[in-house]
Chains A and B, each alone.
Chain A
């Protein structure tokens, strides 16, 4: 006598109760607050915002907490929430040239207008575990170590310490004002606008609209008048400086074509650059890192230099139809990386440098740099380069860079497959029986079992 297993519903309920309990951990330890996550795990929050394509520190922190620190799970939660939000419109392209810069470095010039601003970085730290952080005392130690401390304002990344930069001792500071203090956004958190792109036909990269031309590199060097809004003073982008000399390809002109929107229409190939950049901006950091790394090791080498990495706040505004001008909505933190790559020239083009572009929410330099490397390799065709490596293959890269898609499909192998497996079992048994019969009948002959690519 046999009774089939039942009770899926109860099993699921119990599993989720257990999950909630494990998420909470030891009840005698205080529960972690969202302010602690946004304040102290801010780079995890940045990653969830970037790959979740939703700029909201608080929601990202909630997702991280709910996901027990599993960032891909948190990204998934952010995406599933984001997809249900109504769209009010598309922002005007953000101007990274007018960024209030917290960190800006160029690897191509020792010094340049605006200077090198080291800002909050792990670079040049000794990777020694710091015992002091293991206790609350670590807090105080940290404070004394730094000349300036960050303000206690929530949701704002730490400010760069005053005058910390390099450049042969001249060390230009981002601002001559005392302590280099940069005014922080004054919006109370409850009033913050959740920044979402509009409905089609606008596009997005992480939710920032990228129009070919502007937003990549197109804006001219800012005059001091324009730069008044950027307290850091004029800090022209390195690519703009190179562009003035004609040494680097111009940014593609904005022909006014509204970019396609990856989240509102299915990806089709060939994908143009705005679409590729959208996909990369929300793509998995680890996947892009590995691809970018592969280009450095010779798989479609593009001889990159980091022209510039800048991180800071940019203003987001929305063009209000009824007012006839753009209304500022608030600020977001972004990291931009512009790579400068070799190009030998072609029949029609003189030798000049070419560009790779990376832009992500928050302070995610590794991601922005990887994105720039991969963006540049994906441009092989327009630059007449040979196709030889995975990082150049747009179908391969764009079809596999989304970690929410990837994790879902890999993990679905956990679902029951016994119906299909039964069919395979039957076939294998039949073929083995035939094989045995044949072997008996004549000299043994080795036959291979059938090969199936993957369960589905």
Chain B
């Protein structure tokens, strides 16, 4: 809660509550989280607040994190899999400033991981919570722009529209042309938008030991997947769900079977592929793994 006392100049002296949000707002979000967990994959409307960062930049995830965060939690924030991207840095420093909690870049040390667009490569463990930032929570939104209509479709469990869309892709392109924010069915009932993670990450959501929470601030929705819950990516018998496989391993740590970023090295077609998950890559390098373009570990580190 903000102190209203004015200073001599007449301007308010401003102090903020632990983790920025006032307690009533936290309770409101907490209640929404409990209902979200009780109805896996269903989008619970919540009275999203205006946050001191723009809508679309993680206000939903930030509100969820602020509502669950305790003094003893250890927070990790990633964007594009990396702890060091500008938005991840900005959100992490927001919680360092407003909550004074410990932060980490190590997936295994974190109790809460807030993410935009990725799920870490290292398997999550029981007791961890991963909080996804969600821009458009409604998986049917691009097929049907009206909230009144999509809500009815969910109520009737009428997901034919989505199946038709995916099948039209196959008919037209020979592939399902959705590569990220790939829809999933949760616990056999609700079709859910997993946030814009690459579909490469979808299988990590299934039967995860961690609690998965999703916050969409601008669209004012919270949803959840409890631990050990069935999460199935939609597909067809003749076109089973498949994830992207990279032809070469990470150029820095040699990891295979992980998601890679493509880095353009010059204007002559030179490129390399490196781990999108910077913690995973750094951990492997520290363990002595190398790739085709490795510097000896420790060199060139700022």
Contacts and interface: CB of A to CB of B under 8 A. Distances in A.
Contacts of A415: 57, 79, 87, 116
Of all A-B residue pairs in the complex, the 7 with the closest CB atoms, nearest first, are: A408-B55, A412-B56, A408-B54, A423-B179, A450-B177, A409-B56, A3-B300
A62 interface: yes
Interface in A69-91: 76, 79-86
5 contacts: A1-B300, A8-B86, A62-B11, A268-B147, A448-B172
B161 to A, nearest CB: 15
Interface string B244-275: 10000001100000011111010000001010
Interface stretch (A163-171, A341-349, A427-435): A427-435
A404 B89 CA distance: 22
A263 B294 CA distance: 52
A6 interface: yes
Given A4-B252, A423-B180, A431 B173 contact: yes
Contact of B54 (A1, A7, A411, A419): A411
Given A269-B147, A419-B261, A427-B179, A84 B2 contact: yes
B81 A266 contact: no
A12 interface: yes
Contacts of B244: 423, 426
Interface string B1-30: 110101000111010110010101000000
Interface of B: 1-2, 4, 6, 10-12, 14, 16-17, 20, 22, 24, 45-52, 54-57, 59, 79-81, 84-90, 93, 116-118, 135-136, 142, 146-148, 169, 172-175, 177, 179-181, 196-200, 218, 220-221, 244, 251-252, 259-263, 265, 272, 274, 276, 278, 281, 293-295, 299-302
A395 interface: yes
Nearest to A62: B11
Interface in A399-435: 399, 404-405, 407-412, 415-420, 422-427, 430-431, 434
B198 A423 contact: yes
Nearest to B17: A84
A448 to B, nearest CB: 8
A110 interface: no
Nearest to B45: A266
A412 B54 contact: yes
A125 interface: no
A189 interface: yes
Contacts of A424: 179-180
B10 A6 contact: no
A220 interface: no
Given A2-B252, A456-B136, A408 B56 contact: yes
A58 interface: yes
Contacts of A263: 47
A267 B263 CA distance: 42
Nearest to B15: A84
A9 B302 CA distance: 12
Nearest to A393: B146
A264 B47 contact: yes
A8 B55 contact: no
Given A423-B199, A456-B136, A408 B263 contact: no
Contacts of A6: 84, 301-302
A308 to B, nearest CB: 33
Given A12-B86, A420-B196, A420-B198, A426 B179 contact: yes
A265 interface: yes
B87 A190 contact: no
Given A8-B88, A76-B54, A404-B55, A419 B81 contact: yes
Contacts of B93: 9
Nearest to B135: A456
Contacts of B221: 266
Nearest to A5: B84
A453 interface: yes
Contact of B177 (A2, A407, A416, A427): A427
Among A4, A59, A83, A395: residue with most chain B CB under 10 A? A4
A85 B16 CA distance: 10
Nearest to B244: A426
Given A404-B50, A431-B173, A8 B81 contact: no
A265 B16 CA distance: 22
B11 to A, nearest CB: 7
A434 B54 CA distance: 41
A416 B79 contact: yes
Contact of A419 (B86, B135, B175, B259): B259
A4 B281 CA distance: 11
A447 interface: yes
A2 B6 contact: no
